[in-house]
Structures are given as structure tokens and as C-alpha cells.
Structure 1
Amino acid sequence: MHHLLDGVHLAVFDLDGTLVDSVPDLAAAVDAALQEVALPVAGEAKVRDWVGNGSRVLIERALADALGEEPGEAFAAATHEHFLRWYASHPCEHTRLYPGALEAIKGFWARGIPQYIVTNKPEAFVCPILETLGINGYFEGWLGGDSLTRRKPDPAPLLHVSQRFGVEPAQAVMIGDSRHDIAAGRAAGFRTVAVPYGYNHGEPVAASQPDLLVESLAQLV
């Protein structure tokens, strides 16, 4: 394994933009929700810059773009419900693993290092995606953005996982694609690894100064 991972006893992965490219399905759900409220669709390119802070924020960004102003609370909530219903029925039609992701997952698993997912995606959507892609068995569990009272970039989810496994933060690694992942990992005292191909609001994730930047997760193992 990469020398940065020497002594690591827990690997925490982000999901969207790190292990999987989920934007095609997310964009379809966003566009379906916008159509439900008689607004023009956003399209996949815009959605790529909006994801990363959970589904409610995603919808708020889509509505603000379509309306030219911030949406009202009730309107955003109703549109979010449309999104959730659509996405629940189409969570993994076009979502795919990134090249190198499966090699990394299998590499950690072969070495007996527990793997966990911490994502800002609603928890209910995580398992169906992992099952469809055939990788759920490699993970000890997962937390979504609605699993705890706080989510990334807050370190609370990462500390929750490290405490569950009795692993010191310094012996754990957070692997993600965005500044939220790196900020959460750093605040939790984890080592941090970033990939440049994911969703970081159009900004280079290198600017967040992760401990390691790899072009492919396969480089870790």
C-alpha cells in the first residue's frame, strides 16, 4: 500500500465523486423535480457543480438557478420531495464505479482494513447503490447526510466511525473528492486522500491541501 497508509486501521470513503459517478442519475432526478414544478430542466453539466452538500442543498441550488433568486422554504421543501420520490425509484440506472475504485476497495479488504462510507447523500439511497454495483459486502457500514445531527465538513461523522471501531483518528484515513471531505478529515485528525476527478464545485481539490492526491484510487493499493 502507499506509504501514507502505513499503520492505518480504518478507511473511510466518500461515495459520490469518489467511488461512483452518480451525477447522471442525480441530474435525471433534479430535472424530473424541476419539471414537476413547471421549471426548466438544469442538465447534467450544472448538476455536477452543485452536488456535495446533500440533496436538499442540491435542490435549492437548482431552484435558485431556475428562478434567478433563492427559493422559498415551502417551495424548496415540496420540490425536494419530488426529487426524493424520483431518485428513490431510479438510484442506480446510470451510476458507475470510477476506474480504480474496485481495485482499492478489494485491496483494503484483502488486508483486513475495515472500510466505511461517510457521505452527505441521504442514507436511504446508499445501500441500493452499493448493492446494485455489487460492492456492499466490502463495507462494514455507512452514514448518510441525515444519519447524525451533523454532516461533513463537520468531523462528527468521522469521529463517530472511528470510535465505533476503537481506532485512533491518527490511524484512520478519509478518502474523498471535495473540500468538505478534506476539511472533515483534517478536523477529525484523520489522514486525508483526495481524487481530482469528482465533484468539488468547479474548484481543484488540491487547493484543500490533502495529505495525498492520487489520480486513481488504485494507486493506494
Structure 2
Amino acid sequence: MRHFVKGLAFAAILPLAACFDADIRADFTNTDEVKLDAVMTMGAEIYQMASSMGEDPCEEGIGTENADGTYTCSMLERRSLEDLLMAIDDPDNDIGIGDGVTIEELDNGNISISFDLSEMTSDLPPPEEREQMAAMFGDSLEGHAMSLTVIGKEIVSTNGTIIRDGTAAELVIPLTIMFMPEPESLPSSFDVELVPGS
């Protein structure tokens, strides 16, 4: 996800920044195959601009140009929980996750996962530039968001919203909030404790 977030930040600094949505998902329902998925969809205009600049908006993932001109960048990781926990402790891990994401196995066997939102958005433009962009493209920001979802056998606690009959936790961050200079309604992190599957 580290590389994905850098791609998200690249999208955010372009003039047509409003035209993207991001979905980051961590699924612990199968400890033999934990799924870490990050998908960003860019509007046709922002993708064309990135292409014309010679930039690869999906350098570390799988990019797909869709029939409607939009562009999807997908980063899909599959690892056992044991391998994932070992990799998280390694700052040079090769799974594209680390900056801003902490995953721990607790003494009771539950999993704690935390997304440091300030770290994840540290590559966005500085507050004064975000304010200018929000003023210029405010209407276009409506309806677009970054969504974080964590799935397990059971959600024990979270500062997000519990969904799917208690098996998932979600935090949806509208771009209208993300681009605020000081988004007071945005928590510093998205935290979840869950019971993993078998």
C-alpha cells in the first residue's frame, strides 16, 4: 500500500484531482491467505493528463484502461498471516505496505491494525495548496472518496463504522474532507481490533 498511496498522492496534485476514488481493503477471514487490496480509479481526464506527462500512475501495480476511459490501478497482495506479520516488522519488506500501516497479533490472538492517516496523506500538497484546490474544484470533489475497510471473523472494536453484521469495519473519507487544510472531522488514524478467521 505504500506505493499505492504514493500513486494516490500523485493523482491528488494534478489539476483534475477530484476525479479519483480509492478503496483500500484488508481481509483477515482466512489466515492462510490474508488479502491486502488497494484499488484506485482515476477519471478519464486525469488519466489522459498523466499519460501525456509520461507518468505511470500504476508503476507498482496492475493498471487497466477501462472502456469508459477511466483507469484502474490495482495492487493485490496475498500472504499468510504469519508471513505478513514477519514482513511488517521488516522496514525493507517487499509487499508495498509499511508506511502508515501497523499490524500486530495481540496476546489474546486478535489482530490489531492501524492506518496512520497523517502518514498516508503526507505526500498530498501542503494545506494552503489544498485549500486553493478545494476552492477551485469544490463541486468536482463531491461524490469521491477514499474508503478503508478491514474484514475479519468479528470486529471487536474500531473508531470507524462496523458493517456487514459485525464482520467488517469501514472508514470513508470524502475528498471534500481530505482536501481541507485542517480536517477536524478526520481522525489521526483508523484503528481496528478483530478476531481473524481460521
Higher helix share: 1
- Note whether the superposition's TM-score is higher than 0.5: no
